[in-house]
Amino acid sequence: MTGTDDLIRRLAERAVPVRRLRPPLMRAALWLAVVVPALLGVALVMGPRVDLAGHLAEPSALLTLGAGLVTAFCAAAAALALGIPGLSPGWALLPLPPMLVWLAGFGRQCVLEWLGLVEGSRLGLPHPECLPDIVVMTAVPTVVMVMMVRRGAWLRPRLALAMGGLAVAALTNSALGLIHPDDAGLLVLLVQFAVLASLAAVLGRTPPIRSIP
C-alpha cells in the first residue's frame, strides 16, 4: 500500500486553505443578487415598457411573473445542489411546481391569444431588433451560472447545467416581460430552451473519469 501512503503524503502536502462552498439556497440567492442588478442595468438602457403599471395590475401577469422568478430561484438552487456530493438528486424536482405554474400562465395567455379572446404578441414572431436585447439578457446570467456550477463537483453535469438553463430562461423571460414593449413570445422561450439545453449537452459531455474536477 506504499503507493496509497505516498499519495496521502503528497495530498497532505498540498492542503492549501480552500474557500468553502456556501449552501445551495444561499448561492442561488447570490446568483440572483449578481444577475438581477445586471439585468436592471440592461433594462435602464433599454427603458421599461410603456404600459408597465397596467401590466403589473393584471393578476394573471403578476402570478406568471412571480412563478417565473420562483422557478428561476428554485432551478438555480437545484443546479448548484447537484454539484454537492451526498445531496439528493431529488433537488432536481424542486423547480417543478413553480415551473408548472409559470408555464401554465404563459400557456394560458397563448391559448387566449390563439382563440382571439385577448390581444397580445406571444404567438407572433420576435422583432429582429429585439434579438440583441434577448442575447445580452440571456448571456449575463448564463455565464455566471456556468461559472457557479463549475465550482461544484462535476457529478451530474448535464442535469446541473439543464437546471441552470431553466433558471436562466425563467429569469430572463420574466425580466423581458417587464422591460420589453411586448411580452416575450413563445418562440423566444422555445429558442432559449433549445440553446440552453444544447449548451448543457455540450458542456456536460466531459468523460465520466473527469466527472470530479
Partner 1 sequence: MRAAQGGDSRAYAALLTEITPVLRRVVRRRWGGSGSADAEDVVQDVLISLHSVRHTYDPARPFMPWLMAIVSFRLKDAGRKAARRSVHERSEWSLEHGLPDAAAEPAPESPGDSEELRRAIASLPDGQRRAIELMKLEEHSLKEAAAVTGMSVGALKVAVHRGLKTLRAVLAGGKHDRNR
Residues in the chain: 213
With contacts defined by CB under 8 A, name the span among 3-11, 53-61, 165-173, 191-199 that binds partner 1: 3-11
Exposed, middle or buried: residue 167 (CB in 10 Å: 0-12, 13-18, 19+)?
A: buried
User: Does 20 engage in binding with partner 1 (CB under 8 A)?
Assistant: yes
| Among the listed residues 141, 152, 157, 185, the single contact to partner 1 using CB under 8 A | 152
User: Does 26 engage in binding with partner 1 (CB under 8 A)?
Assistant: no
User: Does 50 engage in binding with partner 1 (CB under 8 A)?
Assistant: no
CA dist 41 and 136 (Å) reads 11
- Least distance in angstroms from the C-beta of 77 to partner 1: 14
Q: Is 163 in contact with 90 (CB distance < 8 Å)? A: no
Q: Give the residue from 207, 170, 212 showing the smallest Cα distance to 78.
A: 170
With contacts defined by CB under 8 A, name the span among 27-35, 101-109, 122-130, 145-153 that binds partner 1: 145-153
| Among the listed residues 23, 47, 97, 132, the single contact to partner 1 using CB under 8 A | 23
Q: Show contacts with partner 1 in window 51-90 (CB under 8 A).
A: 83-87
Phi and psi, residue 170, nearest 5° = -65, -45
| Among the listed residues 59, 116, 128, 208, the single contact to partner 1 using CB under 8 A | 208
| Among the listed residues 17, 59, 90, 116, the single contact to partner 1 using CB under 8 A | 17
Secondary structure E strands in the chain: none
User: Does 4 engage in binding with partner 1 (CB under 8 A)?
Assistant: yes
Q: Which is nearer to partner 1, 152 or 185 (CB)?
A: 152
Q: Dihedral angle at the C-alpha atoms of 141, 145, 148, 153, nearest 10 degrees?
A: 180
User: Does 147 engage in binding with partner 1 (CB under 8 A)?
Assistant: no
CA dist 77 and 170 (Å) reads 13
User: Does 211 engage in binding with partner 1 (CB under 8 A)?
Assistant: yes
Exposed, middle or buried: residue 59 (CB in 10 Å: 0-12, 13-18, 19+)?
A: exposed
Binding site for partner 1 (CB under 8 A): 1, 3-4, 7-21, 23, 83-87, 151-153, 155, 208-213
